[in-house]
Amino acid sequence: MARIIGVDVGGTFTDVVVLDDGVLTGHKVSTTPDQAEGVIADMGQLRLCAEDVFLHGTTTGTNALLEGSGARTALVTTRGFEDVIEIGRQARPSLYDSFVDRPPPLVPPHLRLGHESDPGHLMELLRKKKPDAIAVALVRSHIDPSEELALAGRIETELGLPVSVGALVSPEFREYERVATTVLDAYLTPALARYLSRLDHSLQADQRLAMTSSGGLLPFGGAARRASRLVLSGPAAGVVAATALGRAKGYSSVISFDMGGTSTDVCRIDGGGSWTRREPVAGRVNRVPSLPVRTIGAGGGSLAWVDEGGALRVGPRSAGSQPGPASYGRGGAGATVTDANLVLGRIPPSLLLGGSVELDASAGRLALQVIGDRLGLEPVAVAEGIIEIADTHMERALRAVSVEEGADPRDSVLVAFGGAGGLHATRLARRLGIRKTMIPPLSGVFSALGLLLAPPSSDTAKTVMLEEDAVELAMSRKQILAAARKIFAADHGRQDPDHEETWADVRYVGQSHELTLPLGRDWNRLRADFEELHRARFGFVRPDQPIEVVNVRAVVTAPPPITWDEIPLSKARGEQRLLAPPVVSREDLAADDQVAGPAVVVEPDSAVWLGPGDLLSVHEDGTLEVVW
C-alpha cells in the first residue's frame, strides 16, 4: 500500500509523520539551514517511492518575508497610484509609541511604474530596472480584469519573468490591500518556486502537495504560483489537526496552542471555521484566505536577555536548531525557555529532545547563572522569571484570539501540541479559566499529522456590493461556486470536489469593514446570522440599518487523505490506575489511567507538565485530557 508522509518544517525541528500499512509513526529531525537539503535527506532515509503521497508544510515564504530576502520586485499599477503601497491606511502599528514605524514597502520608489497607454515603453523601462519578479495590480481590476491580464501576459511573454496578477491573487475591492498583497506574492514567488521545484525534482512521490494558509492542500505546481497563500503553511496544519480532534471529541469551539522551538501559534476555530480571516504577517498586508492564526516569538528556543533598564526579557530572538539552547550542548551560550524548564524540573534531564538531542543540565544552569549575575538572582529564580514572562506573552496571544474577539475562552477546549506545548498549556488554561486541556497523540509532531487530515481544496472570491437583493445574491452564489469548481479542476486535475462552502463579507451600509459568515440562499437568514455575530463581536446591532454583501466567496474540497476516525490510534485498557509519581512515560499509560499533578508525562519528542491540582486522564485513542 502507498504510504502517506507529512513533513512540517519548523525553525528548530522538522516534524515527520508516516502512515504505512495501518501503522502511524512520527519523528523529529533538526531543521537544516538549507531546508530543502534536510527534507530530501530525511526522505532518502525513508526511501520515498513513486507510490507514496508527500504532504508538506513549509516556512520558506515566511522566512523570506521575515528576513527580507525576497525577490527584487517591480510594481506596475495605474498611473497616479504608484505610491499606494507606501501611503497605506492611517492605522499605526502602535498608537501611543511615536518610535514605532511600519515596515518599509517591499518595492522601493524607483521600481514602481505607472501603466501607460504605450506598453512598449513600459517594457523598455522594466528591462532597464532588471527586476526578478513583477507585480501587476491595476486599481479597478476587481471590476474588469481584462486589461490587467493582457498586460501581465505580455510582460511574462516578452521578459520571461514571474508575474503576480492582482485579479488572480486578491480579486477584491480596496486598492491598497489588493496591490500590497500582489506585491507580497511577487516578492515571495521566486524563493518558494525554487524551493518547491528542488523538492519536485528530488522526491519520487507521484503526489506532492503543499499546505496553504487556509488549511487546504495544493499540488506543488499550483502552490509555486501562489506564494502568498503559503505564508502560514506550517501553522495552518496544526489548526487543521486540532479542529479535527476537537470535533471528534464533540467540541464546537477549539483553541489550538502550538508551541515549538522558535514561535508559538494560537488560533480559535468555532463551528464551521474561519478560513476567510486575513491576518497581517510580519506587519505586512496579505489579503488571502487564511485561518486566523496569531504567531508570536515565544518558543522553547526563545532567548532570555536583560534590557538597558535592567529588566529581564524573553524573545523574540531564538537560538534556533544550531547552536540551539545552552542545554543542547552544541555551543549555545544564551539561556532559553527550554533551559528554564530543564532547571525547574519540568523537563527530565534524561529526555532526548526531538528523540535525539541529549540535554546538558549543567550548561543550562550556567547560562541562567550568567543572567542571574546581572540581576542579582539565583538560576532557579531566573528560570521562574523566564517562564513567567513567556507565559504572559502566550496568554496575551490566547486572549487576542478569544476575549478581544468577543468570545469567552472558557467555552473552548484548549488543544496543546508542539515540542513545548504540553509544558505550558495547563498553566495557561488556569489563567484563562479554561477547564479542559487536551494533548493529542504524537503531540510533538501534531502539525505534520494535520497535513494528513487536510483536504485538497481551491477557493475564490468576487466583489458584488449587493443590498437586500435575494435574486442577485442567489445568482452571485451560483457564479462564485462555478468559478471555484473551475479553479479546482485546473489545480487538481479532477472534476469531483465532494464539499462546497460559500461565504459572504457583510456589513451595515455605511460601515468600513465587514464580518464574514456562511452564505445561504435566504437573505433574512443572512441578516439574522450577521446581527448575531455583530452583537457578539461589537456588543450592539442596528435593526433599522440595511445590510450589504460586499464580497462572496467559495471554497470547494475533496476528501482528505485520512480522517481522525481513520487514524490507527488506540490504547489498551488498564486497571484504571491513579498515578502520582514525579515522572511518567506516556507509553506506559493505558486507557482510563489517571495522573495527578505535580508530575511530568514524557514522550520521545515532548513532555507534559502537570501542576498541583491538575488531573490527567487517558482516552482510548491516547489523547491526554487535563482538568483542574
In order of 267, 387, 446, the CA distances from 414 in angstroms are: 10, 19, 14
Question: For 403-420, what is each residue's pLDDT tens digit?
Answer: 988 889 999 999 999 989
Average pLDDT, integer, range 306-320: 90
Average pLDDT, integer, range 203-214: 92
Q: How confident is the model at residue 1 (pLDDT cuts 50, 70, 90)?
A: low
Question: For 428-446, what is each residue's pLDDT tens digit?
Answer: 999 999 999 999 999 999 9
Would the pLDDT of 111 be above 60? yes
What is the distance between the alpha carbons of residues 496 and 566, in angstroms, rounded to a whole number? 22
Select from 217, 242, 244 the least CA-distant residue to 230.
217
Query: Are the C-beta atoms of residues 422 and 416 closer than 8 Å to each other?
Result: yes
State how beta strands 436-439 and 413-417 pair: parallel
Query: Are the C-beta atoms of residues 454 and 560 closer than 8 Å to each other?
Result: yes
Which SS3 state, helix, strand or coil, does residue 5 take? strand
Query: Are the C-beta atoms of residues 259 and 315 closer than 8 Å to each other?
Result: no
Question: For 275-289, what is each residue's pLDDT tens digit?
Answer: 455 667 778 899 998
First-to-final CA distance of the chain: 44
Q: 97: burial class by Cβ within 10 Å (0-12, 13-18, 19+)?
A: exposed
Q: Roughly what angle, to the nearest 10 degrees, separates helices 233-248 and 446-453?
A: 80
Segment (H or E) for 169: helix 166-169
Can you read off the three cell numbers belonging to residue 392? 504572559
Query: Dihedral through CA 48, CA 53, CA 57, CA 61, nearest 10?
Result: 80
Query: Which residues are paired to 20 by β-bridges?
Result: 23
What is the distance between the alpha carbons of residues 621 and 454, in angstroms, rounded to a whole number? 20
Would the pLDDT of 274 be above 70? no
Q: How confident is the model at residue 97 (pLDDT cuts 50, 70, 90)?
A: confident
Name the residue with cell 469567552. Answer: 408
Query: Which residues are paired to 518 by β-bridges?
Result: 503
Average pLDDT, integer, range 84-90: 90
Q: Pick the range with the lowest mean pLDDT from 137-151, 260-274, 454-468.
A: 260-274
Query: Dihedral through CA 224, CA 290, CA 261, CA 249, nearest 10?
Result: -120
DSSP state letter for 111: G
Please tell me the number of Cα atoms within 13 Å of 462 on its side-chain side. 19
Average pLDDT, integer, range 98-102: 79
Q: How confident is the model at residue 333 (pLDDT cuts 50, 70, 90)?
A: confident
What is the distance between the alpha carbons of residues 217 and 466, in angstroms, rounded to a whole number? 32
Tell me which fold the domain 69-183 belongs to: Oxidized Rhodanese; domain 1 (3.40.250)
Look over the chain and give the mean of its residue pLDDT values, rounded to a whole number: 91
Which SS3 state, helix, strand or coil, does residue 268 take? strand
Query: Are the C-beta atoms of residues 128 and 159 closer than 8 Å to each other?
Result: no
Name the residue with cell 523570506. Answer: 64
This prediction has a pTM of 0.91
How much is the pLDDT for 511? 93
**453 vs 493: which has the higher pLDDT:** 453
Q: How confident is the model at residue 494 (pLDDT cuts 50, 70, 90)?
A: confident
Strand order in the sheet with 73-78: 112-115, 73-78, 133-137, 163-165
117 contacts: CB under 8 Å, gap ≥ 6: none
Query: Which residues are paired to 508 by β-bridges?
Result: 547
Which SS3 state, helix, strand or coil, does residue 312 take? strand
124 contacts: CB under 8 Å, gap ≥ 6: none
What is the distance between the alpha carbons of residues 92 and 358, in angstroms, rounded to a whole number? 45
What is the distance between the alpha carbons of residues 404 and 538, in angstroms, rounded to a whole number? 10
Q: How confident is the model at residue 32 (pLDDT cuts 50, 70, 90)?
A: confident
Q: How confident is the model at residue 354 (pLDDT cuts 50, 70, 90)?
A: low
Segment (H or E) for 516: strand 515-518
Can you read off the three cell numbers belonging to residue 373? 549575575
Report domain extents, the chain. Answer: 69-183, 302-389, 457-559, 570-627
What is the distance between the alpha carbons of residues 135 and 77, in angstroms, rounded to a whole number? 8
Select from 462, 448, 398 the least CA-distant residue to 424.
398
Question: For 160-191, what is each residue's pLDDT tens digit?
Answer: 999 999 999 999 999 999 999 999 999 999 99
Q: 598: burial class by Cβ within 10 Å (0-12, 13-18, 19+)?
A: middle
How much is the pLDDT for 59? 86
13 contacts: CB under 8 Å, gap ≥ 6: 28, 29, 30, 31, 260, 261, 321, 354, 419, 605
What is the distance between the alpha carbons of residues 614 and 68, in angstroms, rounded to a whole number? 44
What is the distance between the alpha carbons of residues 249 and 413, in angstroms, rounded to a whole number? 10
State how beta strands 207-211 and 53-57 pair: parallel
**274 vs 441: which has the higher pLDDT:** 441
**357 vs 107: which has the higher pLDDT:** 107
State how beta strands 457-467 and 207-211 pair: unpaired
Average pLDDT, integer, range 468-491: 92
Question: For 149-166, what is each residue's pLDDT tens digit?
Answer: 999 999 999 999 999 999
Segment (H or E) for 201: helix 175-202
Helix runs in 47-113, H state only: 60-67, 84-87
What is the distance between the alpha carbons of residues 413 and 269, in angstroms, rounded to a whole number? 10
Question: For 512-571, what is each residue's pLDDT tens digit?
Answer: 889 999 998 788 899 999 999 999 888 999 999 999 999 999 999 999 999 998 998 876
Please confirm whether the linkage preceding 598 is cis (ω < 30° from 0): yes
Amino acid at 554: A
Q: How confident is the model at residue 499 (pLDDT cuts 50, 70, 90)?
A: very high
Q: How confident is the model at residue 317 (pLDDT cuts 50, 70, 90)?
A: confident
Which SS3 state, helix, strand or coil, does residue 449 take? helix
Would the pLDDT of 356 be above 70? no
Query: Are the C-beta atoms of residues 374 and 342 closer than 8 Å to each other?
Result: no
Class of 457-559 in CATH:
alpha beta
Q: How confident is the model at residue 251 (pLDDT cuts 50, 70, 90)?
A: very high
Amino acid at 362: S
Which SS3 state, helix, strand or coil, does residue 327 take? helix
